[in-house]
Amino acid sequence: MPKQFQQNDGRRAPKGHFIVYVGEELRRFIVPLSYLKNPTFSQLLDKLLKSMVLIVVYY
């Protein structure tokens, strides 16, 4: 596992990434910022935000 994922108890995203928490159990995902350029991924994020099952954390 890359060192940057282990720092700060895994609570910070590595440079060039953001954290997304999904669902009632707040499952955590680290997502590359480059995914935001993909229209399909952006539409998915919008849909999840509107349904209140997504929390996005930027660092």
Q: pTM of the entire structure?
A: 0.64
pLDDT of residue 59: 59
pLDDT of residue 20: 83
Residues of the chain with pLDDT under 70: 1-10, 54, 56, 58-59
Render the chain in DSSP notation, one character per residue: --HHHHGGGGTSPPTTEEEEEETTTTEEEEEEGGGGG-HHHHHHHHHHHHTT-EEEE--
pLDDT of residue 3: 41
Query: For the chain, what are the domain ranges?
Result: 3-57
pLDDT of residue 39: 95
d(CA 3, CA 43): 32
